[in-house]
């Protein structure tokens, strides 16, 4: 029975190539062995990778849409079996004059390019701001050191497949109401390469590559942000038969900061200011990502005021431009006062009779002054 490759990736049968690629990338990020070491997740990752390999290849996708399974090496009668391992052109040849001619594609190479790998790097806000060289442990397929990709034991070599004679495919003839039908499928012995390995390498089992854990150094530039990726060319999975390695992508995961919230190149934070300091003015020390800075709270500062420190934010990637730090001032009105404090505030309110509470009309930008709000808070009403 043919496998449901569309269902494996969670896409419909009419999905475009871009939709298939996005679905694969999303699942690969969740299931990659370097991210999710669970055995079930690793098995699922292999299924997802196989499904993407099939559906991203137009010829293989044609076979799937016709009810076949291009990843099966053998098949029975009908489209579900005879279509295994060949595309639409083979089916057309089978019904319209392809007798005896085969597909003419020839054997495929044992050497195939490797796939890309994805890892995540947890970075602090300071590391994102300054850049960092990070050593990351990578578990990928690497070139076999014994056979250097050949897949054969030392002193031996691959030989021509006896089953297909080096063609990489075998043909079968069937009689139907349409006449004699010749179909071709991938050779079950050599799997389409036209060669077999009598004495496989004892280290890689004939694959030309082995799994290995290694450490790579990633240079992460200043200004990176959540979700950005650094590409390391040729550091991904080595392909079957010792094929060229794919790329390694390191995705940035930015840890939350205890003080600042990032918005692009700008940083936001909140500073709580006692009401007396807001009235009289004060200076607050703030530890920014590049040192201590003074926040000048002017006399008469209103609640929700914002003080901006120009050029103290995050650096813009690949440029010397810096963002800003926006300090949101939260004026704190005390809720518990003793009798002496209340008497002092009542005297203060009496001295400020020119500043009274008033009703603000809807849509008006004006509001009562700070002192009127203080009188409402402290007059004991």
Helix (H) or strand (E) run with residue 78 in it: helix 78-82
Tokens of 351: 């001295």
CA distances from 179 to 95, 117, 153, 174 (A): 9, 49, 47, 8
Q: How far apart are CA 371 and CA 154, in angstroms?
A: 91
Distance of CA 145 to the CA centre of its chain: 31
Tokens of 285: 């020390």
Q: How far apart are CA 71 and CA 2, in angstroms?
A: 9
- Cβ(329)–Cβ(284) below 8 Å: no
269 is in an annotated binding site: no
From the number of C-beta atoms within 10 Å of its C-beta (0-12, 13-18, 19+), residue 167 rates as buried
CA distances from 258 to 8, 185, 268 (A): 40, 61, 11
128 is in an annotated binding site: no
Nearest alpha-carbon partner for 282 in 291, 271, 273, 292: 273
- Cβ(275)–Cβ(348) below 8 Å: no
Helix (H) or strand (E) run with residue 329 in it: strand 325-332
147 is in an annotated binding site: yes
Q: What's the residue count for the chain?
A: 381
164 is in an annotated binding site: yes
144 is in an annotated binding site: yes
Q: How far apart are the first and last CA of the chain?
A: 81
Spatial neighbors of 59 by CB under 8 A, at least 6 apart, are: 70, 87, 88, 89
Nearest alpha-carbon partner for 279 in 224, 204, 329, 236: 329
- Cβ(245)–Cβ(234) below 8 Å: yes
Q: How far apart are CA 215 and CA 299, in angstroms?
A: 56
Phi-psi region of 283 (alpha: psi -120 to 50; beta: other; left: phi over 0): beta
Binding-site residue set for Zn(2+) = 144, 147, 161, 164, 187, 190, 201, 204
Binding-site residue set = 144, 147, 161, 164, 187, 190, 201, 204
């Amino acid at each position: 029975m043919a496998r449901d490759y569309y269902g494996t990736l969670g896409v419909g049968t009419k999905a475009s190539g871009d939709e298939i690629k996005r679905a694969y990338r999303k699942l690969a990020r969740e299931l990659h062995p370097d991210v999710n070491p669970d055995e079930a997740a690793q098995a699922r990752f292999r299924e997802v990778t196989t499904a993407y390999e099939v559906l991203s290849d137009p010829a293989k996708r044609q076979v799937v849409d016709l009810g076949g399974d291009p990843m099966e090496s053998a098949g029975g009668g009908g489209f579900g079996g005879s279509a295994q391992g060949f595309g639409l052109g083979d089916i057309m040849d089978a019904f319209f004059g392809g007798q005896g001619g085969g597909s003419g594609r020839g054997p495929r190479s044992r050497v195939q390019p490797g796939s890309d790998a994805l890892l995540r790097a947890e970075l602090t806000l300071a590391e994102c701001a300054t850049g960092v060289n990070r050593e990351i442990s990578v578990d990928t397929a690497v070139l076999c050191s014994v056979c250097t990709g050949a897949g054969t034991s030392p002193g031996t070599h691959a030989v021509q497949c006896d089953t297909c004679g080096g063609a990489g495919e075998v043909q079968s003839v069937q009689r139907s109401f349409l006449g004699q039908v010749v179909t071709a499928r991938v050779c079950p012995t050599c799997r389409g390469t036209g060669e077999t390995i009598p004495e496989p390498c004892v280290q890689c089992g004939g694959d030309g590559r082995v799994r290995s854990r290694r450490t790579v150094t990633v240079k992460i530039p200043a200004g990176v942000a959540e979700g950005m990726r650094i590409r390391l060319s040729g550091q991904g999975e080595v392909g079957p038969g010792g094929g060229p390695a794919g790329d390694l992508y390191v995705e940035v995961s930015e840890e939350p900061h205890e003080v600042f919230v990032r918005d692009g190149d700008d940083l936001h934070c909140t500073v709580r200011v006692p009401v007396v300091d807001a009235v009289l003015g004060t200076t607050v020390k703030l530890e920014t990502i590049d040192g201590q800075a003074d926040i000048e709270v002017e006399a008469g500062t209103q609640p929700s005021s914002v003080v901006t420190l120009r050029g103290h934010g995050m650096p813009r990637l690949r440029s010397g431009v810096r963002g800003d730090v926006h300090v949101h001032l939260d004026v704190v009105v005390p809720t518990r006062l003793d009798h002496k404090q209340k008497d002092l505030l009542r005297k203060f309110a009496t001295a400020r009779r020119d500043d009274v509470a008033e009703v603000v009309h809807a849509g008006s930008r004006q509001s009562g002054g700070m002192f009127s709000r203080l009188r409402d808070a402290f007059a004991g009403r």
